[in-house]
Amino acid sequence: MLDEVNLNKKISKKDYNEELDVLKFRLGELQRELRNAKIPFIMVFEGWEASGISLICNKVIRSFDPRGYVMYPIGKPGDLEAIMPFFWRFWEKIPPKSQITIFDRSWYSRIIYENIKNSRQCRKNLNYAEIFERQLLDDGYLILKFFIHISKKEQKKRFKKSETDPCLKYYLENSDWNPKDDYDRYYPYIDDMLSETSTESAPWNIIEADNTEYAVIKTYKTIIKEIEDFLCRQNTSDTFFAHIKNKYRPEKFTLPDAEPENPLSKPEYLNLKDKYGESIRNLQAELYKNKIPLIVLYEGWDAAGKGGSIIRFTEYLNPRGYRIIPVSAPTESELQYNYLWRFYNHLPKPGKIRIFDRSWYGRVLVERVEGLCSDYEWQRAYQEINEFESQILDWGAILIKFWMHIDKNEQLRRFEERQYNPYKQWKITEDDWRNRSKWDEYESAISDMIRITSTELCPWNIVLGNNKYNARIQTLATISHEVSRRLLENQNEN
């Protein structure tokens, strides 16, 4: 992809100044148009060492209102970033609607730099890059990728010049790209990477940059053209995503009977609860030691016993190591981002436990049934969620998913109990009754969800919830078994 390019294209000083003024004004206008259209915009700048990325970025941002963009220089990960999933630090930085994020270097540099000796990991991360960009593109983000390309000769010349400029010299010496063998060492990797990751919706733009003025003008013109095309597509393409919609093929999955066969007596229950509780208490310390993050998520019908099961679980935990994340409708500011963004922000650190009381599955349950998102959004969410979870598992986390299941009569019984018990009245709201009236619609959403997102590595656990004792023991036992199993696997691997 890099080969047949003339890198020394030129532009006269006079043309440069005149063109730049016009382009700056136009790009300022387009920023305001993107803002009005509520479009989030990501720019990625990669390139050779000393190719002038900073200089070009500094010219580009001068046309923007500073209220509308943030620029992130991406270097070595911080101590927290280093122990989280690779894409965590990039998810954290995606722009909300109407805003611009500029990555001065990005996941691409990091993939090559961090994994140059591990081609399997490199391949995996390139695959996640594809997923990351596709999920955002599907969600209406505009993504532009630039590679600032200079010749080896030009790079040598610049290194030499920087010897006499203390400022440039300092920056180069503190780069983590080791400029001395930059070109030869990385060329084949970068060339491959550019070819492989130049997708139709987010192709690489190669900027010939031996002449910096030319590079600035070409970058400007490319950005302007791409924004104009994007805004134009926005207005015309309602059927743009039709092919993806067809991917959603509902079939039927039938939820089991919610009544357990052998209801537990209270003494049996207390006995088992303590048994599994003690096991969980010790497993928490093992998770710490082995630095394994644990995520347990509870979904279920209203009043199915999510809260009660969570209390029985946390009773045995050291509070320094767990946090409960109650998930309700996204706030105004969360709505400005891709819906998975807030869950990336809630991932536990290695060794810690996060308990989700409801979760990202809201997209294919309440948001689907109540029409809070478009068909296109919830239909593609199954794949997005599977990708999200496979990334978490691959990172090394244990993920346990519970569907707390009760039947319609049992729910009514519990609603009424809450309604008439002064200690529990605050727990029941209008929403609960409204959801209940849509039982059948929820049932088909649940059945789709369990069928499509029960992957081999991370199946749903359906908890028979009509009996509270049995339900709680089933969740505790599942957690205890699942964590033990994974710790054992882990030991065998090492």
- The residues of the shown chain that bind its own copies, judged by CB under 8 A, are 25, 32, 54, 57-58, 61-62, 65-67, 70-71, 73, 78-80, 104, 166-167, 170-171, 174, 281-282, 284-285, 288-289, 310-311, 314-315, 317-321, 323-326, 328, 331-333, 357, 423, 426
Q: Based on CB atoms, which residue is closest to its own copies, 78 or 263? A: 78
Q: How far is the CB of 41 from its own copies (least distance, A)?
A: 17
Q: Based on CB atoms, which residue is closest to its own copies, 55 or 393? A: 55
In terms of Cα–Cα distance, which of 234, 206, 233 is closest to 222? 206
Q: For residues 287 and 350, give the distance between their C-alpha atoms in angstroms, rounded to a whole number.
A: 8
Q: For residues 299 and 297, give the distance between their C-alpha atoms in angstroms, rounded to a whole number.
A: 7
Q: How far is the CB of 74 from its own copies (least distance, A)?
A: 10
Q: Which stretches of 297-374 are DSSP H helices?
A: 306-314, 341-344, 366-369
Phi, psi for residue 231 in degrees, rounded to 5: -65, -35
Joined together, the tokens standing for residue 38 give 């509520």
Q: Based on CB atoms, which residue is closest to its own copies, 188 or 319? A: 319
Q: Based on CB atoms, which residue is closest to its own copies, 79 or 261? A: 79
Joined together, the tokens standing for residue 440 give 């059948």
Q: For residues 206 and 148, give the distance between their C-alpha atoms in angstroms, rounded to a whole number.
A: 6
Q: Based on CB atoms, which residue is closest to its own copies, 304 or 449? A: 304
Q: For residues 224 and 25, give the distance between their C-alpha atoms in angstroms, rounded to a whole number.
A: 11
Q: How far is the CB of 421 from its own copies (least distance, A)?
A: 12
Q: Based on CB atoms, which residue is closest to its own copies, 61 or 111? A: 61
Q: How far is the CB of 379 from its own copies (least distance, A)?
A: 30
Q: Is the dihedral of CA 9, 13, 14, 19 positive or negative?
A: positive
Q: Based on CB atoms, which residue is closest to its own copies, 409 or 425? A: 425
Q: How far is the CB of 47 from its own copies (least distance, A)?
A: 13
Phi, psi for residue 204 in degrees, rounded to 5: -80, 140
Q: Based on CB atoms, which residue is closest to its own copies, 318 or 491? A: 318
Q: How far is the CB of 359 from its own copies (least distance, A)?
A: 14
Q: Based on CB atoms, which residue is closest to its own copies, 96 or 203? A: 96
Q: How far is the CB of 452 from its own copies (least distance, A)?
A: 29
Q: Residue 299: beta bridge partners?
A: 403
> Is the separation of the CB atoms in 363 and 385 below 8 Å?
yes
Phi, psi for residue 347 in degrees, rounded to 5: -65, 145
Q: Based on CB atoms, which residue is closest to its own copies, 285 or 412? A: 285
Longest dimension (CA), the chain: 89
Q: For residues 358 and 299, give the distance between their C-alpha atoms in angstroms, rounded to a whole number.
A: 5
Q: How far is the CB of 251 from its own copies (least distance, A)?
A: 36
Q: How far is the CB of 214 from its own copies (least distance, A)?
A: 20
In terms of Cα–Cα distance, which of 113, 107, 157 is closest to 7? 157
Q: How far is the CB of 433 from its own copies (least distance, A)?
A: 20
Q: How far is the CB of 318 from its own copies (least distance, A)?
A: 5
> Is the separation of the CB atoms in 465 and 406 below 8 Å?
yes
Give SS3 for 99: coil
The radius of gyration computed from the CA coordinates of the chain, to the nearest angstrom, equals 27
Q: Based on CB atoms, which residue is closest to its own copies, 166 or 267? A: 166
Q: Is 458 exposed, middle or buried (0-12, 13-18, 19+ CB in 10 A)?
A: middle
Other Cβ atoms closer than 10 A to 94: 20
Joined together, the tokens standing for residue 2 give 């890099």
In terms of Cα–Cα distance, which of 9, 4, 56, 3 is closest to 208? 9
